[in-house]
Amino acid sequence: MGYYSEHYSQNVKDVLAEIDKALCAVDSESVERFVDAVLKADQVYFVGVGRVLLSLQAICKRLAHLGIKTHYVGEITEPAITEHDLLVVGSGSGGSLFPLGIAKKAHSIGAKIVHIGSNPHSEMKDLCEFMVRIPVRTKNYLEDEIDSIQPMTSLFEQSLLLFGDVVAKMIIDERGLDMKSLWRYHANLE
């Protein structure tokens, strides 16, 4: 039992320390621009794949609870994007086929694009208005990347979810939203 107890506590500490480092390395100006972009858009779209998509869907759901019109690319009732909308691309490397292809399409339609990722030198650079950089380890091994003891890109996915939840919290505070009054945006069937 001693082994497990220690092993668990140590891992919790290490993982949280990694996330702390990653989130604190985000430029606060990009956070401000991100909040602004979300609040100014008619609708906010999210695109990503794998566990990154799951983090984006969680953000998409929480922001919807605040009365923001959100969608993820691929959802059943996804409407057309327009030049008044924002596309948030979640991709550590910035080079995945699907997010990149969708970003190009959205760009050609005139939608505003923000890239949340780690690698600032990807093709996304020429498509997005600005980048929210969470500088964690990717395959690119940039010098300033935060290393991780965790497998694959867990650290990016975790940081992404928490970044989104912190942004939601900031919007609630800034707007003085009373969560109880927002019941109509929350599913009530389950």
Of residues 117 through 136, those in contact with a copy of itself by CB under 8 A are none
Distance set, CA 168 to CA 7, 78, 185 (Å):
33, 22, 14
Check residue 141 for interaction with a copy of itself (CB under 8 A): no
Q: Which stretch binds a copy of itself (CB under 8 A): 50-58, 115-123, 128-136, 138-146?
A: 50-58
Closest distance between a copy of itself and the C-beta of residue 41, in Å?
A: 15
* Binding of residue 110 to a copy of itself (CB under 8 A): no
CA atoms within 13 A on the CB side of 139: 7
Q: How many residues bind a copy of itself (CB under 8 A)?
A: 81
Instruction: Mark residues 68-107: x for contact with a copy of itself by CB under 8 A, - for none.
Output: --xxxxxxxxxxxxx-------------xxx--xx--xx-
How far is residue 173's CA from residue 167's CA, in Å, rounded to a whole number? 10
Among 42, 84, 129, 152, binds a copy of itself (CB under 8 A): 152
Of 42, 142, 166, 175, the one binding a copy of itself (CB under 8 A) is 166
What residues numbered 169-188 form the site for a copy of itself, per CB under 8 A? 169-170, 172-173, 179, 183-188
* 8 touching a copy of itself, by CB under 8 A: yes
Interface residue with a copy of itself, options 61, 120, 130, 140 (CB under 8 A): 61
d(CA 139, CA 95): 11
